[in-house]
């Protein structure tokens, strides 16, 4: 990772990582279903509610970032530290929403495979994306980012 690059140089774009995790979970579930919820639980509705809440969090975070004038895609430069909206509570509301969305799909499809896909997805996001983003933001914004990081937790 070059210090002069005006991006975080993440190892994979987060939406691609999420899509791969979902695809892998669904394919494995199709090949060998592994339910994890009792049949009495209305998994479809519960999963749909979790997924919609996750989608709302992602939409709120993207809208907030865009309104602040910064770029959302990780391959574009960040222009400011956003400290309003969901960014008051978590430094990574989009990634948190993606993880909750994966959990919602796992519940809706009653698929242990989708739930297990959360582990590699979370590891890739944490170490291949967030670690690089944090280093980039600290290089670019210095004390402004360090103060924000000291006030707001990475997740919740």
pLDDT in tens, 73-106: 999 999 999 999 999 999 999 999 999 999 999 9
C-beta of residue 100 within 8 angstroms of C-beta of residue 54? yes
pLDDT at residue 34, as a whole number: 96
Distance in angstroms (rounded) separating the CA atoms of residues 73 and 101: 19
Low-confidence residues in the chain, pLDDT < 70: 1-4
- Picking from 101, 126, 128, the residue whose alpha carbon sits closest to that of residue 114 is 101
Distance in angstroms (rounded) separating the CA atoms of residues 59 and 72: 11
pLDDT at residue 4, as a whole number: 53
């Amino acid at each position: 990772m070059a210090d002069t690059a005006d991006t975080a140089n993440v190892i994979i774009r987060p939406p691609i990582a999420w899509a791969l995790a979902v695809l892998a979970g669904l394919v494995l579930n199709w090949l060998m279903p592994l339910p994890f919820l009792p049949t009495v639980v209305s998994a479809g509705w519960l999963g749909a509610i979790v997924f919609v809440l996750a989608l709302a969090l992602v939409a709120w975070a993207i809208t907030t970032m865009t309104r602040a004038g910064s770029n959302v895609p990780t391959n574009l430069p960040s222009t400011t530290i956003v400290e309003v909206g969901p960014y008051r509570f978590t430094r990574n509301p989009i990634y948190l929403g993606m993880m909750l969305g994966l959990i919602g799909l796992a519940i809706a499809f009653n698929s242990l495979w989708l739930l297990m896909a959360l582990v590699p997805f979370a590891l890739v996001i944490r170490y291949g994306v967030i670690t690089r983003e944090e280093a980039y933001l600290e290089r670019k914004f210095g004390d402004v980012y360090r103060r924000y990081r000291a006030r707001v937790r990475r997740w919740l």
